[in-house]
Amino acid sequence: MPDYAVIVENRATKHKGIAVAFSSVKQIKVLGAGGTRLRVGSEEDSYLLEDFDWMDARQVIQKQPLSRKELNEKVPAPMRGEGLLVEKTKSAGAIVFWDRTQFHCYQTSDKALHMQPDPDLG
């Protein structure tokens, strides 16, 4: 059975997040929006991603090797299955995936992921 990912909003804070439903364990994890905050980066400039309001595109990506050079990480965690590519089109993006223990988030573009949303998209 497939897993599912849907966009959710925290009613109290209005923060956007991604609810991931795992079919194999009958469990739902919420990323952002008051749920799990993802750490982006591993150096001193890392931060916690709590709100996906900047995101205007997302797609499922197949398992792939992750390059330290591409992700600016010392040793990226290996993908164990599919992941999500979340993006602010033509600006910022990240790969988000579950390694059977925790979620990982690796920035894939130059700009920070906690930017303000585009008012024209809202």
pLDDT at position 57 over 70: yes
Most confident of 38-42, 56-60, 88-92: 56-60
Mean local confidence (pLDDT), 58-63 = 88
Instruction: Kindly list the distances between the CA atom of residue 57 and the CA atoms of 32, 102, 122, in Å, as whole numbers in the listed order.
Output: 16, 23, 13
Mean local confidence (pLDDT), 3-30 = 90
Full-model pTM:
0.76
Return mean pLDDT, the chain: 79
- Residue from 94, 89, 91 nearest 108 by CA: 94
Q: Are 18 and 86 in contact (CB under 8 A)?
A: yes
